[in-house]
Structure 1
Amino acid sequence: MANETDTGSRLRRKISQARLALGVERLWSVLLWPALILGTAAVAVLSGALPFLPPWLRALLLAAGAAALLWSLVPLGRQLRAGWASRQEAMRRVEERSGLAHRPVSAQDDKLPDGVNDSTQKLLWEEHRLRQLRRLDNLKAGLPVSTWRDSDPHALRLLVILGLAVALLLGPGSIRERLAASLATGTAAASPQLALDAWLKPPAYTGKTPLLLTSPAIAERLKQEPEIHVPENSVLSLRISGAEAPKLTFRAPVEGTATAPEVEGFKPQVKTENGLFQADVKLTRPAVVEVTDGTRLLGSWRLSLIPDAAPGVEIIDTPKGDSSGRLIAKWKVTDDYGVTGVTSDIYLADEQDDGVGFTDTGIFEFDPPKLAIQLRRAAPQDETGESRADVAQHPWAGFMVEMTLTARDAAGNTTESAKRTFRLPERAFTRPLARALIEQRRRLILNPEEAGGVAEMLDAIVTYPKGLIERSGTQIAIAAALSRLRSAGSQADVDTVISELWQIAVNIEDGVSADAKADLEAARKALEKALREGAPPERIAELTKKLRQALDRYMESMMKEAQKRLAEGNQKQDGQQQPGKVVTPQDLQKMLDMIDKLSKSGNNEAAEKLLSQLEDILRNLKPGMPQQGQGQGQDSPLGQMLDKLSDLMRKQQKLMDETQRMPQPGMGEEGQQDGQQPGSDGQQGMGSLGDRQQGLGQMLDELMKQFGQNGMQAPQPFGQAGKNMDRAEGSLRDGDREEALREQGEAMSRLREGARGMAEQLMQQSRGQQDSQGRDGQARGDDRDPLGRPLPSRGEEYGPEKGMLPSEQAMERARQILDMLRARAGDLGLPKYERDYIDRLLRGLY
């Protein structure tokens, strides 16, 4: 009985499976044409072809596709209304799939007719059913079978499947973008075009312009020279739009066609936003840069780096000093892109006057002095300068030291100069008490343990002041220093005494002018700082006034000190001193007047130089310098040649002005007289100007010969100026005014450059004549100022060359001309050639 129950359950399950299989087959058969229509539409959408069709045709195709789809769904509706397969149909399917004859499955639903009550018939019927069930051990419902092959004899379904696969794999953009573009009702938008921009940005300190690698000019250049040279630390910037998988690769620059290996060390900063790929990378080594989009090569460049050379720095000659204790060092710096700063380092030398090293270690307790070095221009590539520092008060003054300079550039490269060994300048003291205090101060510097001996000496001076100490204030100051020294308990206390002894000695040496000198130095430094920083004219005028007042007080105190020393008979302490020139307050006030005028005219650099000269005079000024004969000196050969050059430049400028006023060829009949042939007088005028230009060229040749006759070398710009004059002469004779003006302008520029060189030679020549100065700062020679420079034999100007600074009238006239040129330069109604001429004049002035 149990077996019959299992067989019945298996039969019912197989009948259900058969009904399901029949339903799937019937449904699948009616889905053929809807699937073909939907597949064709999907191919059209995913291939990206629809956006390129006109909107009306696209709408028509979409409507036709929708209608066809609806038509193809009619059989599906009928099938759904018909419902699932019947039980009888399922049982027949099971019999067919199982290979059963005589309908053993269908017979399970058969019944005896109503009204049959015979027990024998019922037994026979039950036996019949049991035999049928025993035949149903291996029933099969079968899997659904597709009838598409019969409904689609031409295999259109395979074409749709293939097209769908190709559209999915090769279609442009994402599926969502393609679907949106296909259903858009407006004009089809063009697909994004791939665009690549690549450029190289050299470091800002190099001053070089960026290089666009994707420009046509670079493309042509790469055909001739495949390698691009760029400064080290340049930045490669990329911008790519419309790319699917952009990539930046760096390869080793090897020869040959083989693929070079990738190199490491580059760290690009990549940013991708809204389909835009951006990358920036600093170039630290040579490489071949490749930009790809998938397997497609977008660009390739072979980059070679120009190394950033380390700066050069040297100390020109051995640093020197003057009797006031000021250190003067000349230096020179060079760099391929510009030096950003220079620092100095000073060390005690091993070799001293009394042998190697120091017997005491006290001097090593003090920090080394510093020489501040300021560059006149920002990041100069080549500059020669001179730096000064007051080191008289420093404990190392008078000892042998070594100095080095360190230059650095914007890339961080540094270079140290060769060492220079010299004696650190010290101030010379002439008064006995001042010298004695400086001697005791030196003992404390070298060996603080000798504080007891120094205290005994100071005690002796305070106890017996007669003949040594002139003022009670000096005695009180020495007594205070003595008391502090006796109670000193640390090196800091001893350092305080060392500083006090210096101040006392300076006050004794300077006498009544010490305070006035300190005020004068403070006022001078304030004005120098204002000029260097470009302070407003009102501020400079205020500081100049304060300096003038401080100078008056200082000169008055100097006169009192001179009278005092003269009364004491101590005017000349050293019989071997050679007299210097007298510098009067009027002379110094005239220098201040000129500084004031230069600052008002905006020439702060010249005012600062003149202020530096004033500092030189004041530092070496001594009270009561004896007056010498006021004979008129003769100009030096270099000064005479400078005068001739000034006259030559004046004549060249005048000739240039006359050339500008000549009528330009082709200007029509304007300016011509009636009946005059066009250009006849103009050609004659040009010819006469050519003769004058020839004469100026001969003057320049004679001037250059005088250099050789005086054993000097003519400045190099003069040779180029002569060539410009020759070409200007030829242009004038040919009637080419514009070319003549250009060559004359170049000649003026070369003459100005040569004049600056001559002025520097004259300054060096005059400074070279003061190396025999005494320790008291007096310059030698009857025709020298306190700095040993030739005094002017005419006029009232100070400086290394007579007439170097213009007069007040000349400066006022220059300001008026400058204002007039600026006003006319802004007049748009002027002809172009006249505006160009004014522009050349203004460029020459600046």
Structure 2
Amino acid sequence: MAISPGSKAKLKQLHWPIRLTRLGMIAETSLRAFWPLASIVMLALALLMLGLHEVLPVELVWAGVIVSLLVAVASLIWGLRHLRWPSRAQALARLDETLPGRPINALMDAQAIGRDDAASTELWQAHQLRMAARAAKARAPQPNLRIAAADPYALRFVALLALVVALLFGSIWRLGTVADLGAGAASAMSGPSWEGWLQPPRYTGLPTLYLNDAEGAVLTLPQGTRVTLRFYGQEGALTLAESVSGRSAEQPSADAQQEFAVTQAGELTIEGAGGQSWQVEVIADSPPQISVAGQTEIEPDGTMSLPFAAVDDYGIAGGEVRIALDLLALDRRHGLAADPDPRGDIILDLPLPLTGDRRDFTEHLIDDFSQYPWANLPVVYSFEARDGAEQRGAAPGFGAKLLARRFFDPLAAAVVEQRRDLLWARSNARRVAQIMRALTHHPERQFRSPSAYLRMRIILRRLESYTAVGLSPQHQDEIATALWDLALILEDGDVGDALARLRRARERLSQAMRDGASDQEIAELMQELRQATEDYMRQLQRQAEANGEVMEQGELPENMMQLSQDDLQAMMDRIQELMEQGRMAEAEQALQELQQMMENMRITESQQGQGGSEGQQAMEGLAETLKQQQGLSDQAFRDLQEQFNPGAGKGESEKNQGRNGGLGQGQSHEGGQGGDSQQGQQQGGAQEGQDGTAQSGRGQDGAQPPGGSLAERQQALREELQRQQNGLPLGSSEEGDATRQSLEDAGRAMDGAQEALEQGDYAEAIDQQAEAMERLREGMRALGEALAEQQPGQAGSQSGRNSASQGSRMDPLGRDQPEGGDGAGDDGSRIGAGPAYRRAWDLLEEIRRRADERQRSEGERGYLRRLLDRF
């Protein structure tokens, strides 16, 4: 593309785009021509920086150098031959190709015809201006640097990767040693040279040093640093002289490789051509230091905690704690008067921080020694720490008790003491058996439960039988384990009566105050007393509610004092405050006053509740639960109806029943007394809120049912059933077990109904509710039989008759039949008297009618048929 002088003026504005385009073209042709040479250079530099020429034989290195030079020259010649220098015209053509319409080429054109025609000339000038404006937008194109076709095996990337690795892990200073390989330096190639490395011990965490790069004539090294030297050249040209390792003089000093550890200060000298000398100073490794940092403490769960501190210059690597019995500080009386059986010290690993710096830290030795024979006896704690150099540092023996769980129940403490004596020496077996026999002489004075007494008698007989033939270590451990389990039962055993738990909590707290227990133990026992007091108050309240007793303030006798839960909490806060102040005598007196008040509350409640029948109240409570469950089932069925027939929920269906189990057919659609009684609809009805949830009205007894969704009401009913189940007066008879099982099945069915209601599955919810009602009826019948067994001829038999009659006065959906109703006849034509039977009959007729409607879906009709089969 020839450029005329006139066109140069037009292209002046494209000076930089043309220049950049030309530079990109130069880069393209240079890369395609010289990529083999660049790859060879990068690979050679990488090998030199990695020091490959220093470890290979000199002959092989020379051969590599010659081959590399020949290949590099060949690559250079090949590159020069393929190098094509781009011209300005080529750059202009490349730039013009990137523009639409080739405006640069158009600017360099001249008008061939019509020069004398003014209109033609004006048109040509307009065309030139348009092309000039388009050319002004030209931008230099990106060069095409892809040469995959010329390098299909990506050799250039292999060389580049080797160079990057050499830069990261090699040394650029090693390129300076290449001068020794130059022409005329044959003597240098075979002449003496050396390398050295200084590797500190691993536990110091210090890096390895390259001795050739060390500056100065003094080396400060940690003790135990490993020195490695390599001599190159003629053997004996370089020798080593050092006084830092303490090696014998017979060690050859001219070996090509020298390795030794720095153990003392001295001199390190490489003698010969190019040698060097250093004065070595050693940083001594100090042994670790460890000490006890506080007193032993007991945690509420019975674990002991002992703080300690450790220091080391490079970090603690490990250690151990040895716990030995302190016989000199031991009170050798009673069961400890005998010589103890041989028993080794307790050896534990030193606890170390999992994270952080181990050079200076404070940790705690935490362990549970409650079952160990030395529990709560004086011992000596010996701490020993070890560093990475296997140096050890020990702390002076620390004398203290081996703190462990303490038992505040007197009988449990006695059992634990006998267990300790038995583990102390097998010769104490007869003495332990005598004391256990004394403890069981009058069991009514010692044991709160017969099971604990029987367990101790079994242990006693087993111990006496083993003692008669000689107590072995295996039998000793067996009896000790049994005594420990017995002590736990006596101390923490489950006491069913709330007052008994309260007494035991008060006794344990009093004993702890007398024994001088720690603050943590006192706080734990105080919390147990608070919990026991709350449980006892709840028990009194449940019994009063079950008996229907509500004592108003005006009904209290003059000699009785009203005590609230806040008053009890204030009294216990006062007790805790006295204990924290160390006024144990006053705290003990306050505890006794609290116990007397709780006893008086129990006597008052017992006298007031003599006239009630607990079994009858339980039966009535279950009957009320069954009634509420039936109401929930009715409402769930109405919700299911409205899913398929939206008008049913608003009273639009002529035969539609009430939403909450009533008979109303008006707008309120809630709990009325009959389809024709407007007054019943108004009294029993309820309004439906804006959110679409029905707020059920008051029942016949005037009580307001719980609000919320069906699932929430089902959950509340489930919780009420659980509360009633916990308070049932059931014994261990077969009828009592049947009652428990039936009520548990009913509770599981209620849980299933709640889950189905939360998911909107009304069909499944109704099935589960029907199952719950059936299990409730079975539970009531079994409860009546259980009460009849407990009190034959009295309230139990009456409850049984009530339960049986209740079962015979149920409509097909489980509703109670009013007295006077005779039930359905054998042919099903008679439906009894009262609105409940009429309501049930109408509901069954509605189900039959809808089940016969063929326009309904098969799923809905199948569900309605299952309802008919069930009822």
TM class by smaller structure: 0.3 to 0.5
Q: TM-score, normalised by structure 2?
A: 0.36
Q: TM-score, normalised by structure 1?
A: 0.37
Give 1 or 2 for the bigger CA radius of gyration.
Answer: 1
